[in-house]
Amino acid sequence: MSSILVAGGAGYIGSHASQALRDAGHDVVCYDNLSTGHREALLGGTFVEGDIRDIDLVRRTLRQHRVTAVMHFAALLSVPESVVDPVGYYRNNVTGTLALLEAMVAESVGAFVFSSTAAVYGTPERMPMTEEHPTWPVNTYGETKLAIERALPHYERAYGVRAVSLRYFNASGADPAGRLGEAHHPETHLIPRALTAVTGGPPLDIFGDDYPTPDGTCVRDFIHVTDLADAHVRALNWIDDGGASGSYNVGTGRGESVQKVVETVAGVTGRPVPTAVGPRRTGDPSALVAASDRIQRELAWTPSHSDLKEIVESAWRWHQSGWRGAAGGAG
């Protein structure tokens, strides 16, 4: 099978995608600077410690391991942080990605799977959101991802780099086999924060309970990280089989409210979730739900682990393991 470089492969989504690639028979070269990822999340393959902006090192790595495709997860991903540190986000997410692409072009690597985000859409005008929805990001993080999506067609025309961008909605859960899981530092994602709250951590902050939704809390589309990893493998296969470049939503098409997540966590753990309701956060839409018909039709992808209860159960098993290794990067 082919050799795939996974930039950011020691992070949350990157480590799960790396495992999915290995399970599919590929050789995996993890390239990560370990600023947010963890060496313990490297369960096999080759590891190169480095920054994606180091073009010479990326080129040597591509050449030495005869890499045929790149999956790119090495991004900063905190929306609030991106607003106060736009320079850092443009430097890593845009300049870094362009450096990675430059190295690919120099070494004649022509397949690229890009970790994008639903944040490229901004405030939703209609629901569920298709890929044709207007792209007007409302934060720096979304802007940096959209900048790369807009650059990729130019790289294909000029250099022959074919690319699939996957627009994630709410990645969540943990490897069903218990090999990997989620732990960002600091943790910002809803489900691990709720699990921390039931195990003696601070109460779960709920930002607004007065939205125009059935229970007043925000509604989001939660996608199991295993299903997300599978989407990346299918995107790679699509490129290998001659499929056209493009962008795909990756979600379930089902919205679950913050309150429903709280209730599900309580049901799975058998413990009440301490909460603290506060005001809305600026820029938080009441609902974000994906239309994923295109990826299901073209890439034959179907979410098979993304029932909310299954997501929480897998995250709870991981949380109870006591290991907090697969942190950080991507999406």
User: What pLDDT shows up at residue 323?
Assistant: 66
163, β-bridge pairs: 112
CB 308 within 8 A of CB 51: no
269-276 CB contacts, 8 Å cutoff, 24+ apart: 269/195, 269/198, 269/316, 271/198, 271/199, 272/198, 273/194, 273/197, 273/198, 273/204, 274/197, 274/198, 274/203, 274/204, 275/197, 275/203, 275/204, 275/205, 275/206, 276/203, 276/204, 276/205, 276/206
Cis bond leading into 186, ω under 30°? yes
CA atoms within 13 A on the CB side of 321: 20
101-125 average pLDDT score: 97
pLDDT band at residue 318 using 50, 70 and 90 as cut-offs: very high
How does DSSP classify residue 39? G
Residue 324 pLDDT grade (very low, low, confident, very high; cuts 50, 70, 90):
low
pLDDT in tens, 18-66: 999 999 999 999 999 999 998 989 998 999 999 999 999 999 999 999 9
CA distance 264 to 271: 10
The residue type of 13 is I
Q: What integer is the mean pLDDT of 76-98?
A: 95
* pLDDT digit string, tens, across residues 268-278: 999 999 999 99
> What are the residues whose beta carbons fall under 8 Å from the beta carbon of 241, sequence distance 6 or more?
none
- What pLDDT does 331 receive? 37
Question: What does the pLDDT read at residue 281?
Answer: 85
Alpha carbon separation from 238 to 119, 132, 249, 300, 301 (Å, rounded): 24, 20, 15, 10, 11
Sorting pLDDT into bands at 50, 70 and 90, what band is 9?
A: very high
- Please say whether the beta carbons of 100 and 94 come within 8 A: no
* CA 260 to centroid of chain Cα atoms: 22
pLDDT tens, residue by residue, 223-240: 999 999 999 999 999 999
What is residue 327's predicted lDDT score, i.e. its pLDDT? 43
pTM value is 0.95
Q: Which domains does the chain have, with CATH numbers?
A: 3-171+223-250 (3.40.50.720), 175-221+253-292+304-321 (3.90.25.10)
Question: Which two tokens mark 137?
Answer: 């990001």
pLDDT tens digits for range 169-207:
999 999 999 999 997 777 889 999 999 999 999 999 999
Show the CA angle centred on residue 322, arms to residues 317 and 327, nearest 5°: 90
pLDDT for 219 equals: 97
- Write out the two tokens for 29: 């070269």
Residue numbers annotated as active site: 141
Tens-place pLDDT, residues 114-168: 999 999 999 999 999 999 999 999 999 999 999 999 999 999 999 999 999 999 9
Q: Is the pLDDT of residue 330 over 80?
A: no
Given a cut of 80, whether residue 326 has pLDDT beyond it is no
